[in-house]
Amino acid sequence: MLLIEADGKALLRQRGVPVPDAVEVHGPVATLPGEGPWLVKAQVPVGGRGKAGGIIRCASVVDVNTAIQTLIGRRLKGHVVESCLIEEAASGAERYLSIMVDAASYGLRVMYAADGGVEIENAGGVHGILCPPDASAVAQALDKLLLDETIACRADVVQVGQRLASLLLERELALAEINPLFVGESGCVAADAKVVVDLNAIDRQPEIATMIAQRRTVYVDANRKLAEGFDYVELDDEGEIGLVTTGAGLSMMLIDELTQRGAKPLNFCDIRTGQMRGSPARLIRELEWITARPSLKAVLVNIFAGITDLSEFAALLAAAIKASPALQVPVVARLVGRNAADARRILHEAQPGMLVTEDLNEALVKLDQIVGARA
Amino acid sequence: MIGTLSRATPVIVQGITGRMGRTHAALMRRYGTNIVGGTSTRTDMTQVDGLPVFASCADAVAATGAVASVAMAPPGETLAAVQEAIAAGIKLIVTVAEGVPMHDAMRIGRLVRQAGATWIGASTPGLAVPGECKLGFLPDVCLAPGAIAIMTKSGTLSYEVGYRLVQNGLGQSLWVGVGGDPVKGLRFADLLPVFFDDPRTKGIILVGEVGGNEEEECAEAYKRLGARKPLLALIAGREAKEGVSMGHAGALVLGDAGTLDSKTRQLTAVGAEVFTSLDTLIDASVRYFGSAP
């Protein structure tokens, strides 16, 4: 999961990687760090902020406050901007430096490029060296990558790289990237930070866990997953079809297919029926989130059960429907597995007229009819 | 050793006395897998459902000659389970746990590679040679012997594919769930030579997801190895939200990296056919691999 820049930079700063003096604000500001000019940067966990208009260069306090007013509360690439990071614009030559887990080699990929900037990551021409996952190997890789580097602060860059490597290894990160890294006579400074954490290691990374917990709304999906133990990602707060589904891949595919049919899925979900252990609590929680959106027109339940007894699942779903008075839209259930006939009977009692089918296409056509999408 | 797996291959279950281990050991046996025993930390059980329970993989291997293992260990204990299995000489290990930390997966990968063994997982329902055996928990209803090799990141989406193939009178030669994690054991590209060399296999279905570069890597290998059999691909996640893992830790799109467009472009360029819906994939499979009327 991608951290916002402010959190990424906090991790860098702790490791002794130079970052610009900055202040994070949620509204107007009176005093600013340094002399200016400043950058006002929207803090959303997504790349490409600059191109999307989320980074504004300002020459005065008045401009800064106008930029803050423009950005706060605005939606940027699917995320509402809650805060901005304001820092003095760094200067110097731009470099690109990143260290990431390389899945195929079970090691790290260390990358350095003499041109920083937003295009570099997509250019494909960045020099990279694969090395084993230890700090000394990263140091050797950096030495090689920086052979042709003539800047005065070469040693500083190597040191930043080593600190980035130890951060990645100790905090079990997937990616630690600085782009751009400004290099000049007096040293180097990380003008941006892209840090991807591993949520699966969160139990043994209390520092990262605290960081995520402190921003409930910014990291809404991660906090939800950590609190609830299953995956739910809201895709469109004006979505029309809520998904109660099991399996990440199939849920993604259903979202793609619904979208192709002209429907608007509300959420991604992997409810994990195997972990419910006889309690409808998880289903009730999910129906609560789904029904919170007034745009909701239908709920699609899709369970392909290898092991789960469908009649047991149906009983839990029926209990959840009864416990969810806010649910006022039709449910369409597509169930494959053992005891499908019992499941159908139980669900028909919970919501008369509910389509319960083994045929996914029949379920999708029914949804088309409900939401009025083109079939 | 994927290509030579059969109902003769002796398999142990690590964690066989747990709820999952016991259930799935029984289901695997029912399917035909030669489960020869298992391991457990419990000292009060020497047998479960007629199978011997050992204190360690070393004991289990010494007593049974097992060469493969299905590790039913929780994510935080998966690294230790693999270390134990590899030290005991296990040659093929399937780890089913979802949520193995990425840096643990790197350690597992290095260890298994050094030992010259094969690792499937994590975050996988396992693999199957339909009609012979299964290691893991692929639902029987999706399995039938046939000519299509399936490789997949997703469990459920591949169940859906397998189920519909079976409904259409088609079956599978080999089925390998490589799993939904970014750092994993066998990858799509590793499986191509196995499928190309497997005489039962006439064609390949790849069930992919956005995130990572495994599909792109597979496209490159497909071309390099001479595209010897048709490759059909279904890739989920066109509408995935950027910066957030979509259920599977590996399903993470960042900028232009890991997008469906990148995967589709590269697979198509090497002659694979990429589908955007289950229906079109199944129709094409029937066209390619169905028996003539």
List phi, psi (to 5°) of B263: -65, -45
Nearest to A121 among B110, B209, B255 (CB): B255
Q: Assign A230 to helix, strand or coil.
A: coil
Domains and CATH numbers, chain A: 1-20+91-227 (3.30.470.20), 21-88 (3.30.1490.20), 229-371 (3.40.50.261)
* pLDDT, chain B, mean: 95
Torsion angle, alpha carbons of B276, B122, A218, A108, to 10: -100
The pLDDT, as a whole number, for residue A114 is 79
pLDDT of residue A116: 61
Whether A126 has a pLDDT exceeding 80, the answer reads no
| Minimal CA separation from B48 to chain A, in Å | 20
pLDDT for residue A127: 61
pLDDT of residue A123 exceeding 80: no
Choice among A78-82, A127-131, B99-103 with the minimum mean pLDDT = A127-131
Residues of B in contact with A77 (CB under 8 A): 242
**Which of B100, B234, B244 is nearest residue A221 as measured by Cβ atoms?**
B244
How far apart are the two ends of chain A, measured CA to CA in Å? Answer: 35
Helix (H) or strand (E) holding B142: none
Inter-chain touch A252–B210, beta carbons under 8 Å: yes
The predicted pLDDT at position B292 comes to 46
Which sign does the torsion angle of CA B71, B189, B101, B262 carry? negative
As a whole number of angstroms, the distance between CA A219 and CA A213 comes to 8
Q: Out of A78, A174, A305, whose CB is closest to B241?
A: A78
Q: Does B167 touch chain A (CB under 8 A)?
A: no
* Chain B residues with beta carbon closer than 8 angstroms to that of A304: 139, 156, 159-160, 163
pLDDT for res B251? 80
For residue A42, count CB atoms less than 10 angstroms from its CB and return exposed for 0-12, middle for 13-18, buried for 19 or more. buried
Among candidates A102, A193, A271, A219, which has minimal Cα distance to B106? A102
Task: Count A/B contacts: CB-CB distance under 8 Å.
Answer: 180
Q: Among A174-188, A286-300, B64-78, name the one with the lowest average pLDDT.
A: A174-188
pLDDT score, position B89: 98
pLDDT for A118:
52
- Residue A163, both tokens: 């600190």
Q: Does B109 contact A260 at a Cβ distance shorter than 8 Å?
A: no
B234 touching chain A per CB within 8 A: yes
Buried b (16+ CB within 10 A) or exposed e, A264-283: bbbbbbbbbbeebeeebebb
B248 is catalytic: yes
pLDDT digits (tens, 9 = 90+) for A303-340: 998 778 899 999 999 999 999 999 999 999 999 988 99
Strand ordering across the sheet containing A331-338: A241-245, A298-309, A331-338, A355-357
pLDDT above 90: residue A48: no
φ, ψ dihedrals at A18, nearest 5°: -65, 130
- CB contact under 8 Å between A248 and B251, yes or no, is yes
pLDDT of residue A371: 93
User: Residues in chain B with pLDDT < 50?
Assistant: 292-293
pLDDT tens-digit series, residues A215-263: 999 999 899 888 888 899 999 999 999 999 999 999 999 999 999 999 9
Q: Which domains does chain B have, with CATH numbers?
A: 2-121 (3.40.50.720), 139-289 (3.40.50.261)
Q: What CA–CA distance (Å, rounded) separates A291 from A362?
A: 24
Give the three-class secondary structure for A244: strand
Residues A339-351: tens digit of each pLDDT = 999 999 999 999 9
The residues with which B207 forms a beta bridge, in sequence order, are: B152, B234
**Which residue in A has a C-alpha nearest to residue B185's C-alpha?**
A104
Specify whether the CB–CB gap between B156 and A250 falls below 8 A. yes
Mean pLDDT confidence for A287-296:
97
Residue A373 above 80 pLDDT?
no
B157 in contact with A, Cβ within 8 Å: yes
Q: For residues B139 and A250, give the distance between their C-alpha atoms in angstroms, rounded to a whole number.
A: 15
| Non-local CB neighbours of B4 within 8 Å, separated by 6+ positions | none
User: B residues 120-149 near A, CB within 8 Å?
Assistant: 125, 137-139, 141
At A374 the pLDDT is 56
**Of chain B residues 172-231, which have a CB less than 8 A from chain A?**
180, 182-184, 187, 207, 209-210, 212, 214, 217
**pLDDT(A162) > 90:** yes
Q: Name the residue of chain B whose CA is nearest to A306's CA.
A: B139
User: What local confidence, expressed as pLDDT, does residue A375 receive?
Assistant: 46
Average pLDDT, chain A: 92
What are B33-75's pLDDT values in tens digits? 999 999 999 989 999 999 999 999 999 999 999 999 999 999 9
The percent of residues in chain A predicted with pLDDT above 90, rounded, is: 79
| Cross-chain CB nearest to A253 (options B76, B113, B278) | B278
Q: Choose the closest CB to A255 out of B100, B239, B252.
A: B239
| Exposure string for A50-63, b = 16+ CB within 10 A, e = fewer | eeeebbbebeeeeb
What is the average pLDDT across A98-122? 81
Interface contact flag, B247 A252, Cβ < 8 Å: yes
Q: Per-residue b/e over A74-97, b at no fewer than 16 CB within 10 Å?
A: eebbbbebbbbbbbbebebebbbb
